[in-house]
Amino acid sequence: MKKIFLLCIFILFITNIYLNAQSVVTKGKYVLVIHGGAGGTDVNMPDSLKNIYLSSLQTALRIGEEILSNGGSSLDAVENVIRYLEDNPDFNAGRGAVLTSEGKAELDASIMDGKDLSCGAVSNVKTVKNPISLARKVMENSPHVLFTSEGAESFAKQMNLEMVENEYFITPVVREKFEQRKKTTENDKKGTVGAVALDKMGNLAAGTSTGGMMFKMPGRVGDVPIIGAGTYADNRACAVSCTGKGEQYIRHAVAFNVSALMLYKKITLSEAVKEIFTERLRPNDGGLIAVDKDGNYIMHYNTKSMLRGVVNSEGVFEAKIWE
């Protein structure tokens, strides 16, 4: 009996050492993946413009890297990276967002914590400077998940977030494209922004922000503020942020289904994403970024291009548009 007792103690001791070792391996690892939208970015664009996009992506990566490398949370990394991209007029989120058929900027955003599936989202906001921060306030300071229009604006004021006039979001470049769009059937391809992260504590987070589609009908809502369509995070599987034709991502609950395929079919992140693009989405529908609980990541798209980048604790740091 005594031998059995001692054997049990020994097994528990060895198991504890193994689990602690595994914890150390997982908990020092971090990954940040970002996107600036999927679409038809011209491979022959001037080098000056290409370098502007790449420089912006690299700056966003450094913002997130500083947070994650110093032990910050995946949520903080995701929010701050997207805030930077919202403030950057070269992307379709915040300042620089594309316009509705009435020439207004209507913004959507969402964020999700993989630790407990808490999430927040806003749609059709017109005067909130950083919609991603409002989405996080919805998640952390309300009993709800999604606020829209005037209700979202009112809640933003209650949370003392920075408010601006709608004209703040409309840059001369976007206004010119809007005027051109009124004369043609060509659609502007400027891209949604998003970020997914794994922090040193093993927690996943995802966030996405957008101005939607150029010349969209007023009040149109795409996949970005729909949890499970454009954004999803679950520590058991992965964190996902999507970009593309929002209606398609809503129909197929793309972000959620990547996670669900991993959990239910016991397949890898890469296999789950490829199944979604093969079995659910059509060519040229868009792309997504994702990172799983073990730090594996993917940046997948079926359009001509996707502005994207990744940084991790293993020394990877890269930003790309086409290749």
Whether 231 maps to a domain, the answer reads yes
Q: Give the largest CA-CA distance in the chain.
A: 88
**Residue 310 belongs to domain spanning:** 29-320
pLDDT in tens for each of the 323 residues of the chain? 555 544 445 444 544 544 444 444 446 999 999 999 999 888 999 999 999 999 999 999 999 999 999 999 999 999 999 999 999 999 999 999 999 999 999 999 999 999 999 999 999 999 999 999 999 999 999 999 999 999 999 999 999 999 999 999 999 999 999 998 877 754 445 579 999 999 999 999 999 999 999 999 999 999 999 999 999 999 999 999 999 999 999 999 999 999 999 999 999 999 999 999 999 999 999 999 999 999 999 999 999 999 999 999 999 999 999 98
> What whole-number distance in Å separates Cα of residue 93 and Cα of residue 131?
9
pLDDT at site 115: 98
Whether 3 maps to a domain, the answer reads no
Tokens of 231: 């954004």
pLDDT at site 17: 45
Place of tokens 């995701």: 78
Tokens of 246: 């929002």
pLDDT at site 269: 98
- Grouping H, G, I as helix, E, B as strand and the rest as coil, residue 8 is helix
- 293 and 238 Cβ atoms separated by less than 8 Å: yes
The helix (H) or strand (E) run that includes residue 205 is strand 204-210
- Grouping H, G, I as helix, E, B as strand and the rest as coil, residue 146 is strand
Whether 50 maps to a domain, the answer reads yes
> How far is CA 80 from each of CA 67, 123, 206, 219, rounded to the nearest angstrom?
9, 19, 12, 27
> What whole-number distance in Å separates Cα of residue 108 and Cα of residue 193?
11
Neighbours of 240 (CB within 10 A): 34
- Which residues are tagged catalytic? 192
Statement: the pTM of the whole predicted model exceeds 0.85: yes
**pLDDT for 3-51, tens place per residue?**
554 444 544 454 454 444 444 444 699 999 999 999 988 899 999 999 9
pLDDT at site 181: 82
Whether 10 maps to a domain, the answer reads no
Q: In total, how many domains does the chain have?
A: 1
Whether 151 maps to a domain, the answer reads yes
Which residues, at least 6 apart from 79, have a Cβ–Cβ distance to it below 8 Å?
111, 132, 133, 136, 207
> What whole-number distance in Å separates Cα of residue 274 and Cα of residue 150?
39
Whether 17 maps to a domain, the answer reads no
What's the CATH number where 213 sits?
Answer: 3.60.20.30
Counting Cβ atoms within 10 Å, is residue 275 exposed (0-12), middle (13-18) or buried (19+)?
middle
> What whole-number distance in Å separates Cα of residue 302 and Cα of residue 284?
5
Whether 68 maps to a domain, the answer reads yes
Tokens of 113: 């914590």
> What whole-number distance in Å separates Cα of residue 240 and Cα of residue 238?
7
Whether 9 maps to a domain, the answer reads no
pLDDT at site 40: 85
pLDDT at site 3: 53
